[in-house]
Amino acid sequence: MKNDFVDYKLLQAQIQNLAKEDSWFVPLFSNVCALIMQTIPALNWAGFYIVKNGDLVLGPFQGELACIHIKKGKGVCGTALETNSTMLVPDVHLFAGHIACSALSKSELVVPLRKNGKVCAVLDLDSPQKNRFSESDKIEFEKIAQILESSVEFNSSF
């Protein structure tokens, strides 16, 4: 909803403060998901997929049940992993190879998080509304990814 006001500067500051509290990805990503769901209107899912053995495995999230494993190159999240780029999808039903984890999701924004240039996780946002995410949302969530990239601590290699 492009006309809804979201104070992204406040959201980013809150995420920076959460990262100062604990940089381990489990509590940090868990609280970031809760904060996003409380702050961003018209979402039905917010969560992270973590890279494991070259594919994605479900991490902390808020929302309905989710796909546990996503292969590199499959669906929106797997494509973000493969291309190492943000995916803004206005209508997931028009995205070739979309994985329908939830029948309610109609649009999606997926932002990669990187360590040493390699994708280590993706932040996945789903909405029950088509065209929910704007280019401005994309830019602001890429800033959030940068905050997390500089803060997050994983205990495995990618």
> By the 8 A CB rule, do 46 and 108 touch?
no
Q: How much is the pTM?
A: 0.92
Q: Which of 150, 158, 86 is nearest to 123 (CA)?
A: 86
| Per-residue pLDDT tens listing for the chain (158 residues) | 444 689 999 999 999 999 999 999 999 999 999 999 999 999 999 999 999 999 999 999 999 999 999 999 999 999 999 999 999 999 998 887 767 676 678 999 999 999 988 999 999 999 999 999 999 999 999 999 999 999 988 665 44
> Could you give the CA distance from residue 84 to residue 30 in angstroms, rounded to a whole number?
23
Place of tokens 């995916």: 87
